[in-house]
Each structure stands twice: as C-alpha cells, then as structure tokens.
Amino acid sequence: ESGTGKELVARAIHERSGRRGPFLAINCAAMPENLLESELFGHVRGAFTDARSARTGLFVEADQGSLFLDEIGEMPMGMQAKILRALQERKVRPLGSSQELPFDARIIAATNRDLDKEVAEKRFREDLFYRINVVRIDVPPLRARGNDVLLLAQHFLERAAQRSGKSVTRLGRLVAERLISYDWPGNVRELENCMERAVALARFDEITLDDLPPKIREHRATEVYTPSDDPNDLPPMDTVEERYIRKVLAAVGGNKTLAAKVLGFDRRTLYRKLERYQ
C-alpha cells in the first residue's frame, strides 16, 4: 500500500549498514523520463537547453552510501533499460558525456505495485526485476503492525517536538489505546501528520486525547458481536476463526505470506485452512 513507511525502512537499512556515504532518495513517479535520467545520471554543461553547468547524478552522489528508488514500478520502460545497464556495469554516463563514471552505492527500490504481475503483463522489464529482487521486504500496512504504531508515534512525536522547540515527551495511556485501535487508512503518513498536529496543540509534556484529530479521538475498536447471550445463537469457533482470518487477509491486501505472519501460522497451515473454508 501507499504510505506504509517504505522510505523509513530504507533509511533504517542504510543507517545499520555501516556505509559511510549519504542516504539519497528519489521518487521515480514524480518527474518525466528526461528529467529523471538527468537526476540519476547527471549531465555535462550544454547537454540540453537549460544545462548551464555540469551536475553530478544521484548514482555518483550516493557513492559509498545508499540510493533509494521509490515507486520504481512507475518508471518508463526506456528508463528501466538504462537503470538495468547501470546496475550491471556499476557505471553511469552523464547526459552529453562520452565518459562513464563508476559508483559504489547500495540500491534500495520500493513500489506499491505487484511487480510479478507487472512483469507478466509486460509493463516492467523481467531482467530488471530479477536484478533488483535480491532481498525482498514486504512492508505491511500500519493497521497490521500491532504495537509498531506506538514506536513510530513516539519517533514522530520526538522529531516534531524538536523542530517546534516544545517539551512534549510522551503519549498518554488513552492516546496509546486510540492509536493502536485506529485503522490508519493513510498508513504512516497519516500517523506522522497526526503526531505533528498533536505536538502543535499540546499544552503539557504528554499528548492527551484532546490533541488528536476528532476521527481518531472518537474512534472505537471493532468488536466481534454476537446477536445474544443464548448459546444457541453463538457461532462455533470454526466460524469465528474463518471470519478473523478473512479480516486479516483483507487488512493486508490479500498477501497470504504477510497474513500468515500476522496470524502466527506458517503458509501451509493458512492455505490448508482456506481450502477447508471453500
């Protein structure tokens, strides 16, 4: 899904990698192909109309560090071929130059598309897919990450407090309960905005319910309801289990590997249960 915090994960990988160079990021869906090529590979003076001076591309700027290619699934096919060659040769040629420049950067790519499907439908190059699909990390939506929401909320709280110069240091107990129970349709982006708002409105050193947006403050966790206390009306455990498994599957967008992790099953157990429900 969009907004799940893929760049936070990429940055954490870089910070724990021991690489001494910078962490640089670019959204591949945010600019046209010719501008994207210039940003990634660089250009020499006079390479195109507005190229009044030479510019180093991000591949070379990220030398000894990490380059995060966000939304790589949106990249045009022509650009995909150029990225593939750069990754294979570990060299780039700036626009307008006849010389290739070597680089040593860790490449981290992210997408909210199903690249297996994109490859099958000829919208993403198969050779590039296998080149970048070395270590795969599925980043689940925030609603499927349990207490991770509190760790992220505390991180965003501390960052917002530092930027604003306010002495807000912690989340109140009721606030923590609301944050865990809320569905977070906007994922990590929504949580970050929520914490920035809460810090801006906070009057104490602790975030209170009054500091949260109304839709989060007034949210109540979804409960499993039964029609009555009559034992004859209560659903059997298999029915409750099936409903919960299907709810988890819906929450993680049908990703069975991720659903199995959330449920505490291995994938074979999950597939076996789903076959029984057919």
Per-residue pLDDT of the chain (278 residues; tens, 9 = 90+): 788 889 989 999 999 998 999 999 999 998 888 889 999 998 888 767 777 788 889 999 999 999 999 999 999 999 999 999 999 999 999 888 889 999 999 999 999 899 999 999 999 999 999 999 999 998 888 888 877 888 899 999 999 999 999 999 999 988 988 898 888 999 999 999 999 999 999 999 999 999 999 999 887 654 444 444 567 656 678 877 887 788 788 777 788 888 888 788 888 899 898 888 87
β-strand 55-56 against 42-43: which pairing, if any? antiparallel
The type of residue at 250 is A
DSSP 8: H
List the domains of the chain with CATH numbers. Answer: 6-132 (3.40.50.300), 142-217 (1.10.8.60), 231-277 (1.10.10.60)
User: Please, what is the angle between helix 77-89 and helix 33-41, to 10°?
Assistant: 10
The count of other CB atoms within 10 Å of the CB of residue 133 is: 12
Angle 39-45-46 from CA coordinates, rounded to 5°: 105
For the chain, the straight-line distance linking the first and the last C-alpha, in angstroms and rounded, comes to 27
Alpha helices in the chain (DSSP H): 6-15, 33-41, 58-61, 77-89, 115-120, 126-132, 148-164, 173-181, 187-201, 214-217, 237-251, 256-263, 267-277
The Cα–Cα gap between 106 and 24 comes to: 10
